[in-house]
Chains A and B, each alone.
Chain A
Amino acid sequence: MYRYDPYDRQLVAERVAQFRDQTRRYLEGRLTEDEFRALRLRNGLYQQRFAPMLRISVPYGLLESAQLRKMAHIVREYDKGYAHFTTRQNIQLNWPELPRVPDLLAELAEVQLHGIQACGNDTRNITCDYLAGVAADEWVDPRPYCELLRQFTALHPEFLWLPRKFKFGFSGARVDRAATRTNDVAVHVLARDDGAIGFRFFVGGGLGRQPMLGRVTNEFVPEEDLLIYAAAILRTFNRFGRRDNIHKARIKIVLKEWGYERFRAAIEDEYAKIRASGEGADLKLRPEDLERMRAHFTAPAYRPAAEVAADWSAAARREPRFAAWLKRNVRDHKVPGYRVVFVSLKAPGEPPGDCSAEQFAGLAEITARYSFGELRSTYDQNLVLADVAERDLYELWRELDRLALATPNIGLVTDLVCCPGLDFCSLANAGSIGVAREIFERFDSLEAQYEIGEIRITMSGCMNGCGHHSVGHIGILGVDKHGEEWYQVTLGGSAGHDAALGERTGRALARGEIADGVERLIRAYLEFRLDEDETFLECYRRVGLEPFKQRLYAADAAVAAAA
């Protein structure tokens, strides 16, 4: 885990002081609404439906015990006792009071947390594979590069006033667990046969209106050029991104309007020019920079397998709930004797991604005791304890269970991804939490969920797509029809290494129809699949949209026939 040095601490402290001054000037009427809006967004503060929302950056999804303990205090002291994990691995507070936000930020800064560039038209928090460093299919640990880029983009003077928000996602493994190609820029860290490390850059991805997946602009940017290439993309965007229409301002629109060849050539040209100039010489990473950064992300002190390995099959036979949890929420680790444990934030009756003060406090202890003090957030709005000794699994399960964090549903139908929607978000067209709850209730029985198997349902309350609806196997998008909440369904999306955008099924469904609709789609899948091994997505890709569509709108056909 990256630890701040005095410089990092100083920078965040100075940003907090600056924000305190900005807030004071606003409250004194010396900054207009518009001006303060732009400034506060750059520090993570958003005006929501009922109150300000503060988004706290969790750099590449990595948290440590002391931060969780602080979060427990923060949500009690400044909010209503809970916070929300987002699909960008960040944490959102929904009810802070503006005059107290500077104090809140000062407290966060004590544990190296902040809201710098969590919102606004700037470079946002970087997302990353939640199994970085422990995945068996990993080529190179991406975290040191994430941190290098985090520092480079933090308060970057040239790139703080971009046409629109700008997101980077990193992966260094064969399987893409961070939906990287849905970002403006995806960086895949690779190792060549000769051992040289480099990056494959994809540019122009984005969800929201006109979802697109990033395209490769360079197959192998050498390791020392990471920041140079990033600067070339950012400068191209800053210069050419559209500023006349907020809906056309993302870099994907530049790609679309220019065409791939011209777009790629422009970035490559800028890259070559920076590289050849004094700017490039300054930005080139030196071996010692890389070494220093890698030293922050070394493997924890794993114990020999003989000391930590354990066989829980007997306990699992006695306790089916434990067995279910082992099966669904525990995954293999590359180090013998260790396991990766998912902490489900999708308990029955709770909004997906929510975490209470008690849970934060409990997780602070659990992380310290069972996973070398570290916790990760995932883009599916769950948490991961990446380094758990097998020996500790049973005890850990009991503790997670007590905190309602052991719902054995990772990757299943009730592991829904969902934005805050109409309940909190001022941009929402429709509620998403309520729909999530209904779907949850329908498939609550574990037998049914296991029968259905791997499926990813994702839901956004509006076009902005914070709930990643366009890359869900079943995607649900809230739309507004004459002031009523309606839901548009897409099928076959995927955010993984086989990334694809979902296809629209047809007319939107009313609030009263949507849960039924999802159930019909799932029943159709159970009927269509070749066998239990064929997942929803595989089945969909084999049979196509049409048969699913017929089932989804079966009632419409019946009505038409009767008429």
Chain B
Amino acid sequence: MSRILKNRRLVEDDWRLIEDGAPVCAGEKIIVPLRRWREERSALLASAAAVGVLLPNTEDVEALWPEIADRPLIALQFPVFGDGRALSQAVVLRRRLGFGGELRALGDILRDQVFGLQRCGFDAIVPRADQDLEDCLRALAEFSVVYQPAADGLETVWQKRRSATPA
């Protein structure tokens, strides 16, 4: 089992990502690609303890919502570190659709990106294998001030200014 960032801590990951058609062991928590979820839904639910789905970053999460709304975990992908499409997917899932399960970021993720990922609503981040996890954890607190309201609920500079000047 490997360690990942979850809710601002380093934890042992108890989910297994199965990207191909490999068999599922009874009672494990698994993450499968959208396609497999669609094709084997009831079989997966019958054997696994929990089933999360992995979405390509080109999917429209709003259109998919009826199929994924009840999932305990949705994993989004960063195929290369410069590709920020899943950031918008995350924000829409959290802020528009109200997804309350685990939102997990996977892929080519650098230490320098985890702060932004957290802001967009990812509560679980799996940085690229070569990244120093302790350093990633520190990077989650790299900024103490933010301008934009986002999915992390941090108080923004604007909110602070509003409370400083009575309306």
Give the size range of B's interface with the partner.
20 to 34
| Contact A273–B96 (Cβ < 8 Å) | yes
Interface 0/1 of B76-107, CB less than 8 Å to A: 00000111110110010001100000000000
| Contact B162–A286 (Cβ < 8 Å) | yes
Number of A residues with CB within 8 Å of any CB on chain B: 39
**In the complex, how many angstroms separate the beta carbon of B132 from the nearest chain A beta carbon?**
8
Q: Which residues of chain B are near A277, meaning CB under 8 Å?
A: 95-96
A241 to B, closest residue via Cβ: B85
Known pairs A152-B147, A282-B149; A161 contacts B157 (CB<8 A): no
| Contact A238–B82 (Cβ < 8 Å) | no
Known pairs A14-B142, A151-B147, A238-B88; A161 contacts B162 (CB<8 A): no
| Contact B110–A10 (Cβ < 8 Å) | no
Instruction: Give residues of chain B (126-167) contacting chain A, Cβ–Cβ below 8 Å.
Output: 142-150, 157-158, 160-162, 165, 167
| Contact B161–A5 (Cβ < 8 Å) | yes
Q: In the complex, what distance in Å separates the CA atom of A161 from the CA atom of B88?
A: 10
**In the complex, how many angstroms separate the beta carbon of A165 from the nearest chain B beta carbon?**
12
| Contact B82–A7 (Cβ < 8 Å) | no
Q: In the complex, what distance in Å separates the CA atom of A463 from the CA atom of B117?
A: 34
A2 within 8 A of B: no
B112 within 8 A of A: yes
B119 within 8 A of A: yes
Q: Which residues of chain A are near B146, meaning CB under 8 Å?
A: 11, 155
| Contact A38–B145 (Cβ < 8 Å) | no
Q: In the complex, what distance in Å separates the CA atom of A235 from the CA atom of B116?
A: 15
**In the complex, how many angstroms separate the beta carbon of A65 from the nearest chain B beta carbon?**
26
Q: Which residues of chain A are near B53, meaning CB under 8 Å?
A: none
Q: In the complex, what distance in Å separates the CA atom of A35 from the CA atom of B33?
A: 28
B34 within 8 A of A: no
Q: Which residues of chain B are near A464, meaning CB under 8 Å?
A: none
Instruction: Give residues of chain A (273-307) contacting chain B, Cβ–Cβ below 8 Å.
Output: 273-274, 277-279, 282-283, 286, 288-289, 292
Q: Which of B84, B112, B157 contacts A22 (CB 8 A)?
A: B112
A539 within 8 A of B: no
| Contact B83–A14 (Cβ < 8 Å) | no
| Contact B82–A161 (Cβ < 8 Å) | yes
Q: Which residues of chain B are near A526, meaning CB under 8 Å?
A: none
Q: Which residues of chain A are near B110, meaning CB under 8 Å?
A: 35
| Contact A158–B150 (Cβ < 8 Å) | yes
B87 to A, closest residue via Cβ: A158
A98 within 8 A of B: no
Q: In the complex, what distance in Å separates the CA atom of A168 from the CA atom of B150?
A: 22
A542 within 8 A of B: no
B120 within 8 A of A: yes
| Contact B82–A151 (Cβ < 8 Å) | no
Q: Which of A7, A15, A18, A292 contacts B165 (CB 8 A)?
A: A292
**In the complex, how many angstroms separate the beta carbon of A497 from the nearest chain B beta carbon?**
32
Q: In the complex, what distance in Å separates the CA atom of A11 from the CA atom of B116?
A: 14
Q: Which residues of chain A are near B82, meaning CB under 8 Å?
A: 38, 121, 161
| Contact A39–B112 (Cβ < 8 Å) | yes
**In the complex, how many angstroms separate the beta carbon of A59 from the nearest chain B beta carbon?**
14
Q: Which residues of chain A are near B120, meaning CB under 8 Å?
A: 157-158
A162 within 8 A of B: yes
Q: In the complex, what distance in Å separates the CA atom of A38 from the CA atom of B158?
A: 29
Q: In the complex, what distance in Å separates the CA atom of A160 from the CA atom of B165?
A: 30
B118 to A, closest residue via Cβ: A157
Q: In the complex, what distance in Å separates the CA atom of A156 from the CA atom of B115?
A: 11
| Contact A238–B87 (Cβ < 8 Å) | yes
Known pairs A282-B149, A289-B158; A158 contacts B143 (CB<8 A): no
**In the complex, how many angstroms separate the beta carbon of B149 from the nearest chain A beta carbon?**
4
Interface 0/1 of A136-159, CB less than 8 Å to B: 000000000000000110111111
User: Which of B82, B143, B165 has most chain A Cβ within 10 Å?
Assistant: B82
| Contact B88–A157 (Cβ < 8 Å) | no
| Contact B150–A38 (Cβ < 8 Å) | no
Q: Which residues of chain A are near B167, meaning CB under 8 Å?
A: 286, 288
**In the complex, how many angstroms separate the beta carbon of A101 from the nearest chain B beta carbon?**
16
A80 within 8 A of B: no
A239 within 8 A of B: yes
Q: Which residues of chain B are near A282, meaning CB under 8 Å?
A: 149
| Contact B162–A289 (Cβ < 8 Å) | yes
Q: Which residues of chain A are near B116, meaning CB under 8 Å?
A: 155, 157-158, 160
| Contact B84–A158 (Cβ < 8 Å) | yes
A24 within 8 A of B: no
A243 within 8 A of B: yes
**In the complex, how many angstroms separate the beta carbon of B116 from the nearest chain A beta carbon?**
4
Q: In the complex, what distance in Å separates the CA atom of A288 from the CA atom of B143?
A: 26
Q: In the complex, what distance in Å separates the CA atom of A14 from the CA atom of B147?
A: 13
Please give 15 more A-B residue pairs, beta carbons under 8 A apart, in addition to A5-B161, A160-B84.
Answer: A10-B145, A121-B82, A151-B147, A152-B148, A156-B148, A157-B116, A157-B117, A158-B84, A161-B84, A238-B84, A278-B95, A279-B91, A288-B162, A288-B167, A292-B161
Contacts A/B (CB < 8 Å), 7 sampled: A11-B147, A35-B110, A151-B157, A151-B158, A152-B148, A157-B150, A243-B83
Binding site for B on A (CB under 8 A): 5, 7-8, 10-11, 14-15, 18, 22, 35, 38-39, 121, 151-152, 154-162, 235, 238-239, 243, 273-274, 277-279, 282-283, 286, 288-289, 292
Q: Which 4 A-B pairs have the closest CB atoms?
A: A161-B84, A157-B119, A282-B149, A157-B116
Binding site for A on B (CB under 8 A): 81-85, 87-88, 91, 95-96, 110, 112-113, 115-117, 119-120, 142-150, 157-158, 160-162, 165, 167
